[in-house]
Structure 1
Amino acid sequence: MKRANTISRSVEIGLRLIGLWPDSAYATFYWFSYMLSIVIVQYCQYAYVLDHLEINDLVLLMDCLSLTLAYTLAFFKLFILWWNRRIFYRIIKDMNNDWKDCIVNDSYIFTMMNMADLSRRFSNVVFTIYGSGAFFLSIGEHLLQSLSDVNRFGNSTRELPLKMKFPFEVSESPIFECFLIGQFIYDLSIAFVVGLMNALLVTLVLHVSGQIDIMRQNLAEISKGKYDHSTFLIIIKDLISKHQKIIALSENIENLYNQIALMQFLWNTIVICCTGFLIIITINTNQDISTLIKSVNYYIAITLEAFIFCFAGEFLSSKSKSIGDAIYESLWYNMTANDSRILLFMMLRCQKRLTITAGKVIDLTLDEFAYMMKASASYVSVLNAMY
């Protein structure tokens, strides 16, 4: 039998490794150790950025700054998720209760299993995309850079793909190889955490979507069966209770992710701008193909991350509106005035759509994603004109 949980096994393992899964062993130790490693690497990255903070070397500055800011964003997102871990634990508990209710009904379990399968496939795709991005940012970029230097100069330079400043020389063997492998593991872990947060958001939204589909099935059953006042009151009471649970679960997801979404919206605008500018300069100056491949792959990953957040908010909003449509399509005109008035109140509540906001300021929608891309493109044009 398939695993009766919307959260995939890979996402659960990732949450356990960073100490965020409920009742996991040594959770605080895992979280503190991982955050400490990020802080150490970030110190070396920002030291390098400050040393090369010159307008004359703008391409190098944009290259290292875009990666450094992206890793800083991952650090803050992970910290916010840990800070709101009690909300996350409550969400997991509510999801487990929903699955317990679905197991007793075959029609409900089929709907939730479809959502769980979709969640697992999406998680696998996200981890694959970000894993390949980590490869091109470290080992793949180093190999392409080495081949390019050998063909041009007859020897290869010793330069780490992730720009950092160290208090000692790292270009000699075997120190260079050790740091190269360490950077690859670091890039892979950061990519995994970023993909983990994106997959978790989509998983939670899909779970809410499955509960909404179950509620719509119940509303359809009212229309199919013969109307009976006493039976209707029992069914509608359960539907109102389920609707309140859906609203509460959606609000918890919003409270868990609204600060993360705000940082995502502001930070990604800057990172996409820096990466887009680097791609334009690389094409115009005919630089190494390794820089272009790395930048394009990284640009796709960052843009995909912003798109996932906005699409999740748009999908949740459209799903919440579908409850009102299902109520309207029911046979409310065959009911008594008092019973149809109850459905009217439910329709009015559905007018306030469920959504995910960026800091409770703006709703995450596809329109906001388009606005962010337009803003980034405007900043890129300004930088290109200055350069």
Structure 2
Amino acid sequence: MNVSAREHILKLKLPFQIDTFPIYVCVTILEFFHIITCGCGISTINSLIITLILHIGGQVDILYDWLLKVFSKNTMNTVNRITMKTLIIKHQQIIMFSENIENLYTYIALMLFVSDIIIICCLGFIIITSISTPGGAAILVKSILFYIMMNLEAFIYCFAGEYLNAKSKLIGDAAYNSLWYDITIEKKRMILFMILRSQKRLTITIGKIMDLSLERFASIVKVSASYISVLLAMN
């Protein structure tokens, strides 16, 4: 019944004494809601980027379908009233939307990857050292689960950047594979400009320093493994 000797959900150093049961219960409830709030906030941020990337991928698929169907002598300016102006406006909207996602998530990704690399290195060190530690099975299980979650979070962002990059490549391919030879010279030039603009891939960066991709995720795993070996050498 010694309340002050009980463990908390979080490691806390409080400026007051917890000598009574009601105070301990209130602190425990606040800790629980703090963890739930942080988890919901992180889940919302991660779910939002996935939703935005899937949305822009759908818009790219729509533009891809338009480019493949519209440039024909029989269907030009008649298929769903799609014109050259409509295609250019759609392309510009996709580019602007991608830039807004980039401005929103670039510094979020920077903070996330800096913290994830540090956490992954520390967790890897704990996992390796707990193997030879007596009674380290519980620590090993907790650390492995946490290690998987940190890598999964980094993988989500890298996969989102890779997906956006691959989708942006489809626009130039669709414009090149379309029936551009059935249209006028002026519109052919517009298609050429669209192809040139599509060569600049849509992507998400880490603090406007490097692009998010699966290759970047592999490099993060390699860096984390090298840091773990350094920590083991210093131990």
Normalising to structure 2: TM-score of the pair? 0.88
Q: Please report how far the alpha carbon of residue 289 of structure 1 lies from its aligned counterpart in structure 2 after TM superposition.
A: 3.5
1:285 match: secondary structure: coil
2:173 is aligned to 325
Is residue 294 from structure 1 mapped to residue 142 from structure 2 by the alignment? yes
Q: Return the alpha-carbon distance in structure 1 between the equivalents of residues 74 and 19 of structure 2.
A: 80
Please point out which of 102, 112, 126 is paired with 1:254: 102
User: Is this contact kept in 1: 2:161–2:211, CA < 8 A?
Assistant: yes
Q: Please report how far the alpha carbon of residue 220 of structure 1 lies from its aligned counterpart in structure 2 after TM superposition.
A: 2.2
Q: Please report how far the alpha carbon of residue 224 of structure 1 lies from its aligned counterpart in structure 2 after TM superposition.
A: 6.2
After the TM superposition, which residues 1-387 of structure 1 pair with which residues of structure 2 at under 5 Å, given as runs? Answer: 158-170=6-18, 173-223=21-71, 226=74, 228=76, 235-387=83-235
2:203 match: secondary structure: coil
User: Is this contact kept in 2: 1:227–1:335, CA < 8 A?
Assistant: no
Q: Please report how far the alpha carbon of residue 292 of structure 1 lies from its aligned counterpart in structure 2 after TM superposition.
A: 2.4
**1:295-342 deviation per Cα after TM superposition (whole angstroms, max 9, x unaligned):** 222212211111111111111111111111111221123334332222
- Distance change >3 Å, CA 177–CA 292, structure 1 → 2: farther
User: Is this contact kept in 1: 2:125–2:231, CA < 8 A?
Assistant: yes
1:28 is aligned to none
**1:364-386 deviation per Cα after TM superposition (whole angstroms, max 9, x unaligned):** 11111111111111111111222
Q: Return the alpha-carbon distance in structure 1 between the equivalents of residues 62 and 82 of structure 2.
A: 17
Supply the RMSD in Å over aligned alpha carbons: 2.3
2:16 match: secondary structure: coil
User: Is this contact kept in 1: 2:71–2:183, CA < 8 A?
Assistant: no
- Distance change >3 Å, CA 291–CA 170, structure 1 → 2: farther
Normalising to structure 1: TM-score of the pair? 0.55
Match for 2:40: what amino acid? Answer: F
202-211 or 282-291, which moves further after superposition? Answer: 282-291
Q: Return the alpha-carbon distance in structure 2 between the equivalents of residues 370 and 176 of structure 1.
A: 45
Q: Percent identity?
A: 50
Q: Return the alpha-carbon distance in structure 2 between the equivalents of residues 252 and 210 of structure 1.
A: 17
**1:243-298 deviation per Cα after TM superposition (whole angstroms, max 9, x unaligned):** 11111111111111111111122221111111121122222213344322322222
Match for 1:291: what amino acid? Answer: I
1:165 match: secondary structure: coil
Q: Return the alpha-carbon distance in structure 2 between the equivalents of residues 168 and 301 of structure 1.
A: 34
Structure 2 runs not aligned, ≥5 long: none
User: Is this contact kept in 1: 2:71–2:182, CA < 8 A?
Assistant: no
User: Is this contact kept in 1: 2:68–2:179, CA < 8 A?
Assistant: no
User: Is this contact kept in 1: 2:67–2:175, CA < 8 A?
Assistant: yes
Structure 1 runs not aligned, ≥5 long: 1-156
Provide the aligned length of Structure 1 versus Structure 2. Answer: 230
Q: Please report how far the alpha carbon of residue 231 of structure 1 lies from its aligned counterpart in structure 2 after TM superposition.
A: 5.9
Q: Return the alpha-carbon distance in structure 1 between the equivalents of residues 197 and 74 of structure 2.
A: 26
Q: Return the alpha-carbon distance in structure 2 between the equivalents of residues 344 and 338 of structure 1.
A: 10
1:164 match: secondary structure: coil
Q: If each structure's helix is expressed as a fraction of its own residues, which one has the higher value? A: 1
